[in-house]
Each structure stands twice: as C-alpha cells, then as structure tokens.
Amino acid sequence: MSAAVPVRPSFAGALRALESVLMRGEQQTARRNAWNAVLEDRSRARVRTETEHVLEAAAEGASVAT
C-alpha cells in the first residue's frame, strides 16, 4: 500500500484560515459579500463587452449587405 500524500493547502485556503482567526464572523461575511459583488460586476462587464462586439458585428454585416 502506498502512503497517503499530505495535501498542501492552497494559498486561498491559507488566507481564509488566517482570515477566520483574525476577523469576526460579520467581517468575514461582509468581505465575502463584497468580493462576490466584485466577481459579479466583472462577469456583467464581460457579458456586456461580448454583447457589444456581437451587435457591432451584426451592424457591420447589415450595412455591408444593404
């Protein structure tokens, strides 16, 4: 049988562990909520940019055809 390889925690996991020691629960929740809002904003911006590109390409295609 092979020995179990110890799993090294990720950097993010280590930060979460440190955060849990240093911050109270409310602060953790507030920080996580803020980070989730940042991720959602980035996602919406990415979708908006992709949509703009599609609309521009469609407009160029329509103007070339007419």
pLDDT digits (tens, 9 = 90+) for 8-58: 778 888 888 887 777 777 888 898 999 999 999 999 999 999 999 999 999
Assess if residue 19 is contained within a domain: no
**What one-letter code names the amino acid at 44?**
R
**Domain housing 50:** 25-65
Per DSSP, the chain holds a count of helices (H) and strands (E) of 2, 0
Tell me how many domains the chain contains: 1
Residue 1 placed within a domain:
no
The answer to whether residue 62 scores a pLDDT higher than 90 is no
Position 8 scores a pLDDT of: 75
d(CA 13, CA 19): 10
Q: What single letter denotes the amino acid at residue 53?
A: H
Phi and psi angles of residue 8, each rounded to the nearest 5 degrees, phi first: -85, 130
Cα end-to-end span (Å), the chain? 73
Here the tokens at position 25 are: 């629960």
pLDDT at 28: 81
pTM of the predicted model as reported, rounded to 2 decimal places: 0.55
Q: What pLDDT, on the 0 to 100 scale, is given for residue 64?
A: 55
